[in-house]
Structure 1
C-alpha cells in the first residue's frame, strides 16, 4: 500500500485514520472495528464493503 495514499484516505464511516494490515491485505479502522478490502490494489472504501473485526 502506498504510504502517500494511506496519509490521505480516511475511514468513510468516522473519517479517522486507516491502518494497513500487510498480512490480510486490508485497511483497518480501529475506532469502528471494521476492515475494508483491497481488490487488485484498489481500496474499496464503501460502507457496504466493510466487515467487522475483533478489537485488537
Structure 2
C-alpha cells in the first residue's frame, strides 16, 4: 500500500496534475490526461510510456 504522504506529493509527469488511487489500488489515475500509471510492488511507475490510456474505458478513481 502506498504511503499517504507519497500519494499527496505525486503528480502526473505529463501535465503535473494530481493523481488519485484507482478503485483496485493498483494504479494512479490522472483524470486530466486520462492516463493510469501502474503500481508494481508498492512502487508507482510514473513513466508516460508505461501509462495506460483510460479514454473510453470507464475506469473511475477513488474519491
Structure 2 distance, partners of 1:51, 1:31, is 14
Match of 1:46 in 2: 47
Aligned pairs (5 A) from 1:15-34: 15-34=16-35
Uncovered stretches (5+) of structure 2, i.e. residues with no partner: none
Two-structure CA RMSD over aligned residues (Å): 1.4
Uncovered stretches (5+) of structure 1, i.e. residues with no partner: none
Aligned residues: 56
Report the alpha carbon displacement of residue 2 of structure 1 after superposing the two structures with TM.
1.2
User: Any idea what the Cα deviations from partners look like across 1:20-55, whole Å, max 9, x if unmatched?
Assistant: 114151000000000000011100000100110135
TM-score, normalised with respect to structure 1: 0.88
Match of 1:4 in 2: 5
TM-score, normalised with respect to structure 2: 0.79
Q: Which has the higher contact order (CA 8 A, sep 6+)?
A: 2
Match of 2:36 in 1: 35
Higher share of residues assigned strand: 1
